[in-house]
């Protein structure tokens, strides 16, 4: 379901140009192919996960881990830039790592419908530097993380790092760490939140949950420090 923009049709290029493009692709393959070397894939504006124009990089494809199309795959180190909102709009999205960048603007990764994302390694939500959210909102979808998840809140309760699920599920096969921030930490600046009785956050790793801030479970709004949810 990857997009295909960013490619140059071979029939429109002269022979020297084709040779240059082929050489570049060979260099890229020798550097980034396989799971040993993860390709960076950084959002350049808000948009859908499977849209080529959402992601930055040479020819819209070299930085995104694939020759066909220009969207993240299982070898991609994905960063959602400060100020961008990216929507997981496919059923089987994949990445090597996912990072929500810090900064003074809202940044989020949002799941539409019951779509799913599998992350081979770690997920990180960095601290906001103004009164904004940095959030992964799974809603009704499924996020599977085979590494660790780390949330770091801002220096006030209005600067939130948030992992949120409604009726979907988040499966963490490593550990979940919820950090406060600042020299005088403020509670509720970093939160894992379940907003529907059918929503689930499951932590399977031996590290369990390191809860230095808040886990919010609605509709009762009970706050607790769980080891496994």
CA-based max dimension of the chain: 67
Helices (H), 48-173: none
CA–CA dist 5, 31 (Å, integer): 22
User: For residues 191-205, b (16+ Cβ closer than 10 Å) or e, as one string?
Assistant: bbbbbeeebbbebeb
Does residue 17 lie in a domain region?
no
- pLDDT in the model for residue 19: 61
Range of the domain at 71: 38-223
Does residue 45 lie in a domain region?
yes
pTM assigned to the model = 0.79
Q: Picking from 53-57, 120-124, 141-145, which range would have the lowest pLDDT averaged per residue?
A: 53-57
Instruction: Encode pLDDT of 175-197 as tens digits.
Output: 999 998 877 778 889 999 999 98
Tell me the CA distances in angstroms from 126 to 149, 163, 228, one per residue in order.
11, 11, 23
Structure confidence at residue 136 as a pLDDT band (50, 70, 90): very high
The answer on pLDDT for 119 being more than 90 is: yes
The answer on pLDDT for 35 being more than 70 is: no
The answer on pLDDT for 151 being more than 80 is: yes
- pLDDT in the model for residue 103: 96
Average the pLDDT over 196-212 and give the result.
93
Q: Picking from 24-33, 34-43, 138-147, 210-219, which range would have the lowest pLDDT averaged per residue?
A: 24-33
CA–CA dist 141, 109 (Å, integer): 12
- pLDDT in the model for residue 111: 98
For residue 20, the 8-state DSSP code is H
Does residue 12 lie in a domain region?
no
Does residue 164 lie in a domain region?
yes
Does residue 176 lie in a domain region?
yes
- pLDDT in the model for residue 192: 93
The answer on pLDDT for 1 being more than 60 is: no
Does residue 132 lie in a domain region?
yes
Q: How many domains does the chain have?
A: 1
CA–CA dist 227, 45 (Å, integer): 37
Show the tokens assigned to 2. Answer: 């990857």
Does residue 58 lie in a domain region?
yes
- pLDDT in the model for residue 26: 53
Helices (H), the chain: 15-32
Structure confidence at residue 48 as a pLDDT band (50, 70, 90): very high
Does residue 25 lie in a domain region?
no
Burial class (CB in 10 A: 0-12, 13-18, 19+), 93: buried
């Amino acid at each position: 379901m990857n997009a295909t923009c960013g490619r140059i049709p071979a029939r429109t290029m002269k022979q020297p140009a084709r040779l240059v493009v082929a050489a570049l692709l060979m260099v890229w393959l020798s550097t980034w192919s396989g799971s040993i070397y993860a390709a960076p894939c950084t959002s350049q504006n808000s948009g859908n996960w499977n849209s080529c124009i959402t992601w930055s990089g040479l020819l819209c494809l070299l930085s995104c881990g694939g020759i066909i199309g220009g969207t993240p795959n299982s070898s991609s180190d994905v960063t959602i830039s400060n100020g961008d909102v990216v929507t997981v709009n496919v059923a089987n999205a994949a990445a090597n790592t996912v990072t929500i960048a810090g900064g003074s603007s809202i940044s989020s990764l949002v799941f539409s419908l019951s779509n799913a994302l599998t992350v081979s390694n770690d997920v990180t939500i960095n601290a906001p530097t103004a009164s904004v959210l940095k959030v992964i909102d799974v809603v009704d979808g499924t996020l599977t993380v085979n590494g660790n998840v780390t949330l770091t809140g801002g220096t006030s309760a209005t600067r939130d790092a948030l992992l949120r699920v409604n009726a979907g599920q988040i499966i963490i096969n490593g550990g979940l760490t919820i950090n406060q921030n600042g020299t005088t930490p403020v509670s509720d600046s970093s939160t894992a939140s379940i907003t529907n009785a059918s929503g689930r956050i499951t932590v399977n790793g031996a590290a369990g949950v390191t809860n230095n801030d808040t886990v919010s479970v609605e509709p009762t709004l009970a706050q607790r420090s769980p080891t496994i949810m």
